[in-house]
Amino acid sequence: MSRFFKFIGKAALFILIFAVIVRIISVMGASGEDLILEDTIAVVRLEGVIMDTHYLDEKLKTLDENDKVKGVILEINSPGGAIAPTQQLYLRIMKMHKPVYAVMETVAASGGYYTAVACDKVYAMESTITGSIGVIMEYTNFRGLMDKFGVQSVVIKSGKMKDVPSPTRELSEEEQQYLQGNINDFYEQFLRDILKRRKIDEKKLRELADGRVFSGRQAQKLGLIDAIGTREEAEEAMKKQLDMPDIEVEEFYPPEQSVLRSLMSKAKTLAATEGVDGGIYYLYKPGL
């Protein structure tokens, strides 16, 4: 009998130690998917201007590699952003081996739409702002102000296009054509990737892709999205596709930032999209 109680005691101690280890890992910040013990639909989020997508890209990759994750829902509230990070998310979603649904919220325009269109099914609310298919570059020219105060800019460069666009002088016709060529190339990439995913006539798409925005209801009628609905409808549709009506749904959002880090991140985003940098973006930016 004493051996039996000793065995029970050792088993209880082992369970306690295991539970403590799991708790320590969780507290220390181990990713939630590492601790998934049952089949799950994972919910991830794309929020704000698309600039640094490293966290979301890695999260999607990890979820795709986890056999317990049967599908992913991507919530999107973004006006778009930088070209390369936007395409990075598009390509990541295209590589995934399990269903991915997009749920558009307040805005999913330009790069936000670019990301959504990679998903297997796209939901939006009737009032969602989407579309804005196109490319934009903006910079400020200080030439007049500099002339007024007698300030000159001196540039030494290795090639004639090295400082284009310059905030201190007007563009030549050749420089304008050079920049327009770049814009057109990124625009064609945008259209190409939409056509890979949407059953829409190319001629019709080109007519729509002049930068205009659409409501979710308009986008559905035009074939730019699949359905009107919120995350709830997306969850139910994915459960039906998986034939798993009781599957768990779990959120995998980025860890909360400190107030200082959050402010620094927002300042960096603002500087990148509002500053005089001549950047090229898939970005919905009204009021220009």
Active-site residue numbers? 110, 162
Q: How many CB atoms lie within 10 A of CB 116?
A: 30
Lookup result for tokens 């805005």: 107
168: exposed, middle or buried (Cβ count in 10 Å: 0-12, 13-18, 19+): middle
How far is it, in rounded angstroms, from Cα 192 to Cα 211?
Answer: 16
Tell which residue, 180, 223, 216, has the closest CA to residue 202. Answer: 223
Dihedral of alpha carbons 159, 165, 168, 174, sign: positive
> Strand 129-131 relative to strand 213-215: parallel, antiparallel, unpaired?
antiparallel
Q: Are 44 and 73 in contact (CB under 8 A)?
A: yes
Q: Are 128 and 104 in contact (CB under 8 A)?
A: yes
Whole-Å CA distances, 76 to 26, 27, 31, 124, 157:
27, 28, 21, 10, 41
Tell which residue, 80, 90, 92, has the closest CA to residue 51. Answer: 80
How far is it, in rounded angstroms, from Cα 93 to Cα 91?
Answer: 5
DSSP three-state, residue 247: coil
Q: Are 135 and 187 in contact (CB under 8 A)?
A: yes
Beta-ladder partners of 123: 103, 227
Which residues lie below 8 Å from residue 287, measured CB to CB, with a gap of 6+?
Answer: none
